[in-house]
Amino acid sequence: MCRFSYERCVCFVFLVILSVLSCAGVRVDDLVAMAEIDKQRTSPAEGAQLAPHHRLRHHRHPRRALAATPAPRWLPQQEDDISVRAYRSQVVLLAYAEGSSHSCQFVFRVLKVYKNANSFPIVDRIMVRLDCEEAVREYRRKLVRNKIHLRRKYVLFLNASGSSNFQQAGIPKLVRANKEAKTDRIIRHACMPKLVPTTPKIVELKEISRRQADRRKLLCKVKGFPVPKIVWRRKGQTLSQNRYLRIQYRR
């Protein structure tokens, strides 16, 4: 009996509070709606989809969430093979970088003459002006003098006009110690006096994807001399390497 009277007292107090609030001008249905809103905020329903900005706010790694549509970064296209550069150049030298200037002029000490098409006079030390700007990447341009390291060996691909006027015919090739013999063999073969070029030909073109669900992989093998340049096209447009498309070349 005491328990029943206690519950009645609580209900009576609650009704009195509601009556006072109603007299003060506060609508009871607004209070109920506010309670429902607070309940939804604290415990959202299962399967409810949050807005993108709300989902990003509580994401632990916002950069990963925004990385779905990044700006593409274009990488350099395929460069000419060193055999192609040697075949097309008038003068090919193995030289040692000794000095440089702010006007992109470099002093090289000649170590070996691979090719001298018109018998130009070549002294022990030559000065060559290289291109100051070389597009390493489309979004970042570097000076070529930052790529030439002093006290290192390079294969120079030059054209000559006059006794001591040399112009760059191709990007210099850095000769690494572990690949010096291989580079020497390739350059000597490309600089042979009576070398006859061969017609480029596609030997093999196939898909090498292991499974259908994997990313599509294509393999193209070509032969010919000078080494032919491979260009990939899709729907009439040339494909370039980016973060979604990787093109690898191997000699």
Within-domain flag for 247: no
Q: How many CB atoms lie within 10 A of CB 173?
A: 19
pLDDT value for 65:
47
At which of 190, 212, 228 does a domain end? 190
pLDDT tens column, 49-108: 555 544 545 545 555 544 444 444 434 456 678 888 999 999 999 999 998 877 778 899
User: Is 95 in the same domain as 122?
Assistant: yes
pLDDT value for 180:
92
| Closest to 78 in 3D by CA, of 241, 245, 244 | 241
Model confidence at 30, pLDDT cuts 50, 70, 90, reads low
Range scoring the smallest mean pLDDT among 41-50, 190-199, 207-216: 41-50
Instruction: Quote the CA–CA distance of 83 and 53 in Å, as a whole number.
Output: 55
Counting the structural domains of the chain, the total is 3
Structural domain including 222 reads 198-238
Q: What is the mean pLDDT of the chain?
A: 75
pLDDT value for 246:
80
User: Is 88 in the same domain as 185?
Assistant: yes
For residue 135, is pLDDT > 50? Answer: no
User: Is 39 in the same domain as 134?
Assistant: no
pLDDT value for 191:
92
Which residues are CB-contacts of 224 (< 8 A; sequence separation ≥ 6)? 197, 198, 199, 200, 201
Cα within 13 Å of Cα(145), Cβ side: 13
For residue 42, is pLDDT > 70? Answer: no
User: Is 138 in the same domain as 99?
Assistant: yes
More confident of the two residues 206 and 32: 206
Within-domain flag for 65: no
Q: What is the mean pLDDT of residues 238-246?
A: 81
Within-domain flag for 180: yes
In the chain, pLDDT over 70 holds for what percent of residues?
67
Within-domain flag for 68: no
Range scoring the smallest mean pLDDT among 118-122, 213-217, 222-226: 213-217
Q: How far is CA 207 from CA 19, 49, 127, 134, in A?
A: 80, 41, 49, 34
Instruction: Quote the CA–CA distance of 157 and 152 in Å, as a whole number.
Output: 16
Within-domain flag for 246: no
User: Is 87 in the same domain as 186?
Assistant: yes
User: Is 126 in the same domain as 217?
Assistant: no
User: Is 167 in the same domain as 87?
Assistant: yes
Q: Return left, alpha or beta for 151; rule: phi > 0 is left, psi -120 to 50 is alpha, else beta.
A: left
Which DSSP letter does residue 74 get?
P
Within-domain flag for 248: no
User: Is 35 in the same domain as 100?
Assistant: no
User: Is 154 in the same domain as 207?
Assistant: no
User: Is 141 in the same domain as 161?
Assistant: yes
pLDDT value for 133:
57
Residue 145: CATH number of its domain: 2.40.50.120
Instruction: Quote the CA–CA distance of 112 and 92 in Å, as a whole number.
Output: 9
User: Is 160 in the same domain as 228?
Assistant: no
User: Is 98 in the same domain as 18?
Assistant: no
For residue 48, is pLDDT > 80? Answer: no
Which DSSP letter does residue 130 get?
P
Within-domain flag for 77: no
At which of 190, 212, 227 does a domain end? 190
Which one of 48-57, 170-179, 203-212, 233-242 scores highest in mean pLDDT? 170-179
Within-domain flag for 51: no
Q: How far is CA 135 from CA 75, 104, 131, 157, 197, in A?
A: 10, 15, 10, 18, 29
